[in-house]
Amino acid sequence: MPNIPSVDLNDFLSNDQNLKSEFVNKLGKAYKEIGFVALKGHFLKDSDIEMIYKSIKDFFDLPTDVKAKYELEGFAGQRGYTSFGKEHAKGKKEGDLKEFWHFGQYLNDDEYNKFNYPKNVFVNELPDFNSIGKTVYQSLEKTAIFVLRAISLYLDLEENHFDKFVEKGNSILRPIHYPPIKNKPKGAERAAAHGDINLITLLMGAHGRGLQVLTNNGEWIDAIAEEDEIIVNVGDMLSRYTNNKLKSTIHKVINPPKELWKKSRYSIPFFLHPIGTMNLNVLESCIDDNNPKKYTDITAHDFLIERLKDIGVLK
């Protein structure tokens, strides 16, 4: 079964310009052709990975009424808990077979006010849950910034082109629990086919079969990472920004075979978002006679609101 390409961030971080250039070209080629890579050399420590999986299992194992305390009205799901079946893919009525939590950006009070981000929700029952969430958030954010620097070079932009847009961006770390399946789902999947909204997504927990990616020829292939890898894919914002030069690929999490219905699945995507004022206007360098401008001008904030309404999170 074909799988997605694998790259090593250590090559980009090395002082060897040949290795760095090879990484940029391999990453760019993968994002142009399929939109997904498996990435070694990220900034997550093994101990942090072990700790966050333990912590999220502890949280999702809490009684329903305890978890419900952290599902807050008025947040549009941006922080805290979202209960089972609330979110659906664009164009789907059936809710996805999942519940999840959102950790957001870590800022001082003045910055929260400036960017109008809600603050993170603190789970009183599980202090470790809160602290490890922050550690993993910041490790993945750091990894994402270096991936974007490589993308910038591939696009012939300044290496730090995206830094000012994402270092205090509205990014989200989302631990997801796909509970055991009790009855045959009617039209629902753990996560129905969709494209991500954001610039890039970094995904922990894709070490077993479940995540699938739609290729250019219409074939669904498995996206499986090695134990030391995370998966990093292009989101709709970056695809739009590059006039589809970089590909935001449709993907899904399929339901397991019946013999595995009783087993939970956990995954932890980090959705890298820019600040809301970033213009997603198509880069002039990505427009030519063969590829005319495909998208109207829009800010990241307006695009996000549009898409949150599409998936039922915002009314």
What is the domain-level CATH number for residue 18? 2.60.120.330
Q: What is the pLDDT of residue 253?
A: 75
Q: Reduced to 3 states, what is the DSSP secondary structure of residue 310?
A: helix
Give domain status of residue 74, yes or no: yes
Residue 56 CA: distances (Å) to CA of 38, 101, 201, 214, 254: 23, 9, 19, 29, 21
Full strand arrangement of the beta sheet holding 251-253 = 191-194, 251-253, 211-214, 220-222
How far is residue 158's CA from residue 50's CA, in Å, rounded to a whole number? 36
Give domain status of residue 1, yes or no: no
**pTM (whole model) above 0.75:** yes
Report residue 76 as tokens.
């549009």
Report residue 87 as tokens.
């979110």
Strands (E), 9-65: 36-40
Q: What is the pLDDT of residue 92?
A: 47
Give 61's strand partners. Answer: none
Nearest Cα residue to 260 out of 179, 186, 205, 177: 179
Q: What is the pLDDT of residue 251?
A: 83
Give domain status of residue 315, yes or no: no
Q: What is the pLDDT of residue 94?
A: 52
Give domain status of residue 285, yes or no: yes
- Which residue numbers in the chain have pLDDT < 70? 1-2, 74-76, 85-96, 183-192, 206-209, 255-261, 312-315
How far is residue 117's CA from residue 76's CA, in Å, rounded to a whole number? 12
Give domain status of residue 165, yes or no: yes
Q: What is the pLDDT of residue 40?
A: 96
How many structural domains are present in the chain? 1
How far is residue 252's CA from residue 255's CA, in Å, rounded to a whole number? 10
179: which DSSP letter? P
Q: What is the pLDDT of residue 263?
A: 78
H or E segment at 20? helix 17-33
How far is residue 294's CA from residue 179's CA, in Å, rounded to a whole number? 39
| Residue 270 C-beta-side C-alpha neighbours within 13 Å | 26
Strands (E), the chain: 6-8, 36-40, 80-82, 99-102, 172-173, 176-178, 191-194, 200-204, 211-214, 220-222, 230-234, 251-253, 265-272
Q: How many residues does the chain have?
A: 315
Give domain status of residue 182, yes or no: yes
Give domain status of residue 103, yes or no: yes
33: which DSSP letter? H
Helical ranges in 186-259 per DSSP H: 236-241
- Domain residues for the domain of 99 are 6-310
**Block residue for tokens 């990894």:** 143
pLDDT tens column, 135-178: 999 999 999 999 999 999 999 999 999 999 999 999 999 999 98
Q: What is the pLDDT of residue 314?
A: 67
Which residue type, as a one-letter code, is found at position 148? L
Contact predicate 162/235, CB 8 Å: no
